[in-house]
Structure 1
Amino acid sequence: MGAHGGMGRRRFLGVAATGMAATGIAAGSAAAGNAVATPPLQNGQGQGNGDGHGRPTRTRPCYLGTYTSGGGGGTGIGLATYQPETGQLTSTGVIEGVADPSFLALARGGQVLYAVNEQDQGAVTAIALGGGAGGPVVLGSESTGGAAPCHLSVHPGGRYLLSANYGSGSVAVHPIREDASLGARTDLVQHTGSGPDPDRQTGPHAHQVITDPDGAHVLAVDLGSDRVHSYRLDERTGRLAHASEAATRPGAGPRHLAFHPSGRFVYLANELDNTIAVCGYESGTGKLSVGTPQPTAPKDAPAVERNYPSEVLVSADGRFVYLANRGLNGITRYAVGDGGATLTLLDAVPVGGDYPRHTAFSNDGKLLFAANQKSGSVTTFTVDGSTGELAATGSPFAAPAPVCVLPG
C-alpha cells in the first residue's frame, strides 16, 4: 500500500480474487513506442464468422482495463471485438507496456485511447490505435501529480484530458497535442476534507471527473469527503476555477454520477451507504442539489453482507437508469419520471459474474457490457428499446480482473 492509501482502496475487496463464484442476485509509466501483442479491429472494419445465413457480420472493437500489479493478473489493455447483433466478445490481443490501466477513454472517433496508470505515482497514457500494420502505438505518459488515478475523461473541446487521483484526492488537467499525445500538466486541484468512514474516508478521494452536457462545467466526485465539486475550465490556459460544491449526507461516499439527457438532473451512485440519489443541476452555475437517497435493489433481493454500487448509466432517451451493484452482483433498472426528476425501481437482473466494477452501453445502446472484477469475466446483455429490460446474451468472456469495459 502506498503512502496515500490509493492501492488500499482499489485492492481492499480483493482484486486478486479472480475466479470466485458469483453470489447475490442469482509498473511505472509506459514508454513511447509500439507496444502491442495483437492489433485490434477498428470501428467496425473487421468481419465476423457470419450471421448463420452465409452473410459476414461486421464486428466492433472493445477495450478492457485491468490491473497489472498487486496480483491483478493483467499484462496491459485487453483488446477484443464484439458482434453488434449478439454482443459476443472475442479476444484480439493486449496493448502491453501500460501499467495498471484501470480506466479508459476513447477520443477522435475511436482512433485514440487514453488510460490511467493507477499507481502511487500516478500517470495517464496516450495510445494511437491507428489500425495499421504496426498496430497501436503508445505515445507516452505524463504524471498526474497525485496517487492512484482511477478515472479520466476527455473535455468536449478535445484539447484537454481530465483525470481524478483517488489516492491523493486531486484533479489533474493535461493538454492534448495535435498528434493526440499529452503535454505536461496545466493544473492540479487538491481537494480537502474527510468523512465518518474510518477505512475509506480519512481524506479526500476523487473518484470521477466529467464535463456536464453543456460543456460549461467540470464535475469531480469525491468519495472521501462526501462532496461533488464543480469547476470551470479555461480552455486557453488549461486551468480549473472553482464554481460550486455540493455535499451528500455524511458517509455516503459518492462514487460516480451520470446526467439525464436534459442536463437538468444527475443520478449519483453512493458507494459507501449503498444508495442512489437524484440531484437537480443548474448548468449556468454548476450547482448540484443532492436529493433523497434511494435503494439500490428490490426489497426481495437476497441478503448480502455488504453491497457497493458502482457504475450508473442512463439510456440515451432518458427513460431508464441502470445501476451496477457489487455484492448483490446485479444490475438494477429504474424508470425515469417527471422529466428526469424521479426514479422508480423496477427490477434487478443477475450480472452473471462476481463484482461488476464497471458497465457500459454499446454505441447504439442496444447492448450493455459488465466488467466483473472478481470472476474475471465480461458479461453482455441486450437492452429492450421499449421496456429497458435487460436479457443476458452470449457467453461470458474471460479476462484478467476486468475493471473497465469500453466498447468502441
Structure 2
Amino acid sequence: MAGTANSVQAQAKNGEQWNLFIGTYTKGKSEGIYTYAFNSTTGDFSEKAVTGGIKNPSFLALSPDKKYLYAIHETEGGAASGYEIEPGTGQLRFLNTVATKGANSCYVSVSPDGKFMVSGNYSGGNLSVHAIEANGSLSDSQQVIQHTGKGPDASRQEAPHVHATDFAPDAKMLLVCDLGIDQVVAYPYHASGKKPLDETNKVITKITPGAGPRHLVFHPNQQWMYVLNELNGKINAFSYENKKLTPLFEVSILPDGFSGKFGAAEVKISPDGRFLYASNRIELNEIVVFRISEKNGALDFVERVNSGGKTPRFFEIDPTGKFLLSANQDSDQVTVFKRDIKTGKLTDTGKKIEVGAPTCLVFAPVKAE
C-alpha cells in the first residue's frame, strides 16, 4: 500500500497524466462511465474509453490500491457494480453487479482496508455493506441498516434519505449523512466479522432541523470535519477525536440576502488543507471558496464563481491541486478551472469536457501498483 501512495505522490509532483473517470446519468446523451486522460500540468484532456450499457452510474469510488472502480446505479431497484481498471488504457473490465437492497442508491465508498464497499440508498433510507472479494468483485449484501424518522421539510424529509457514507480517516467509524432526518450517524467499523458496522454502539449527531446533511469532508489533519447541508445551504464544522464529533461552528455558502432557490451539492478541501470549496445548484450554479484557518479550522470567505454551467452536482480537485473540475449535470459538460495554489481562487480555463449529465469525477494513477 505504501508503494502505491508513494507512486501517486510522485505522479502528482511530476504533473503526469491521470485517468479521469466520469460517472453520469444515462437518461440523455450519456452511455455510462467515461475514461479521460487528464494532464495535471496543462489541464488538457482526451477521451480514452467509454464503458457503456450501464444505467445511471451516478457515483464512483476507487479501491485503496487503485486497481478497482465501483459504481452505484441510481435506479428504483438499487444496485452496484465492480470493475477492474486496465493499467494504462483506463478500460474497465466488468466484474459483477449486486443489489444494494435500497432504492435510488446515490453514494458509494470503500473501506480504507479495501475489504468492504458501502452504498448509501437515498429513497430506501438505508445503507448496505458488501464484502470485496480477492478479485475485486462484490459479495451480496452482508449488512443492511435501515434508518427511520422524518424531518420538518414535508416535501424533502418525509422519510430518511441516506446520502454520503464516508469512512473516517482513522478507519474507526463510518459516517452517514441522512438528509431526511437531519442526522450524521457514526457506526464503529470492525474489519472482522460478517457485519462490520456496529449498529448497537452507533453515535448520532443531530444537525439543525430542516438542514438536510448531504456530503461531508475531513481536513487532511484528520481533526476537523465539515458537513454540507443541501436544504439550508450551510456548512457545519466539527472536531473529530476518539470517535467523537464536537460541534465547532456553522457558516452559510449563500450570498447575503439571497432568497431564491438553491441546492447545496458538494464539498471538498484542497490537498494542502488550506481551502474549502462548496457548490450550489438551481438558481445559483456556483462554487464558493473559503480559506481554512490553520489554528482552529474556521472558514473565511474568499470568493464565489460561476460553475461554468448548470447544476454543479459534483466537482473534484485534481491530485496536484492545480485544477478544479466542475461536473455540470444539466449542461452536459465538465468545466476545467485553474486553481491558484496560494489564494485558492478559481479561473475558468475555457476548457470543457463534453459528456452527457456528468455527476461524479474520480482521478486515478494511470498505472496502479
Structure 2 length normalisation: TM-score?
A: 0.89
- Of 215, 218, 227 in structure 1, the residue corresponding to residue 174 of structure 2 is 218
Q: Which amino acid is the alignment partner of residue 319 of structure 1?
A: R
Partner secondary structure for residue 374 of structure 1: helix
> 355-364 or 130-139: which moved more?
130-139
Structure-2 separation of matches of 1:212 and 1:238: 20
Structure-1 separation of matches of 2:198 and 2:120: 16
Structure-2 separation of matches of 1:160 and 1:261: 23
Structure 2 CA distance for partners of 1:392 and 1:169, relative to 1, 3 Å: same
- Of 280, 303, 324 in structure 1, the residue corresponding to residue 279 of structure 2 is 324
- Of 126, 136, 154 in structure 2, the residue corresponding to residue 180 of structure 1 is 136
TM-superposed deviation, 1:153: 0.8
Aligned CA-pair RMSD? 2.1
Give 1:86's aligned residue.
Answer: 42
Could you list the per-position Cα deviations for residues 239-281 of structure 1 after superposition, in whole angstroms to 9, with x for gaps in the alignment? 2113300111110001001011222211111100111121222
| 1:396 matches 2:352 | yes
Give 2:4's aligned residue.
Answer: none
Give 2:227's aligned residue.
Answer: 268
TM-superposed deviation, 1:292: 4.1
CA contact (8 A) 1:146 1:168 kept: yes
More strand by proportion, 1 or 2?
2
Structure-2 separation of matches of 1:136 and 1:168: 28
The count of aligned residue pairs is: 348
Structure-2 separation of matches of 1:344 and 1:269: 16
TM-superposed deviation, 1:234: 2.1
| 1:139 matches 2:95 | yes
Structure-2 separation of matches of 1:234 and 1:298: 42
Give 2:23's aligned residue.
Answer: 65
TM-superposed deviation, 1:122: 0.8
TM-superposed deviation, 1:94: 1.3
Partner secondary structure for residue 234 of structure 1: coil
Give 1:25's aligned residue.
Answer: none
Structure-2 separation of matches of 1:108 and 1:291: 30
Give 1:101's aligned residue.
Answer: 57
Structure 2 CA distance for partners of 1:132 and 1:336, relative to 1, 3 Å: closer
Alignment of structure 1 residues 9-408 onto 2, 5 Å: 58-68=16-26, 71-131=27-87, 135-239=91-195, 240-242=197-199, 243-282=202-241, 284=242, 286-299=243-256, 305-326=260-281, 327-337=283-293, 339-408=295-364
Structure-2 separation of matches of 1:361 and 1:401: 19
Q: Which amino acid is the alignment partner of residue 138 of structure 2?
A: L
Structure 1 length normalisation: TM-score?
A: 0.81
Structure-2 separation of matches of 1:315 and 1:134: 25
TM-superposed deviation, 1:395: 1.4
TM-superposed deviation, 1:367: 1.4
Structure 2 CA distance for partners of 1:177 and 1:331, relative to 1, 3 Å: same
Which structure 2 segments of 5+ residues have no match? 1-6, 9-14, 365-369
Structure-1 separation of matches of 2:239 and 2:286: 27
Structure-2 separation of matches of 1:184 and 1:369: 34
TM-superposed deviation, 1:108: 4.7
Structure-2 separation of matches of 1:159 and 1:349: 39
Structure-1 separation of matches of 2:266 and 2:66: 22
Which structure 1 segments of 5+ residues have no match? 1-42, 45-56
| Percent of pairs with identical residues | 36
TM-superposed deviation, 1:290: 3.8
CA contact (8 A) 2:114 2:132 kept: yes
Partner secondary structure for residue 295 of structure 2: helix
Q: Which amino acid is the alignment partner of residue 270 of structure 1?
A: N
Q: Which amino acid is the alignment partner of residue 293 of structure 1?
A: E
Structure-2 separation of matches of 1:395 and 1:117: 29
TM-superposed deviation, 1:305: 2.4
Structure-2 separation of matches of 1:105 and 1:133: 18
CA contact (8 A) 1:111 1:129 kept: yes
CA contact (8 A) 1:281 1:288 kept: yes
Q: Which amino acid is the alignment partner of residue 181 of structure 1?
A: S
Structure-1 separation of matches of 2:194 and 2:298: 36
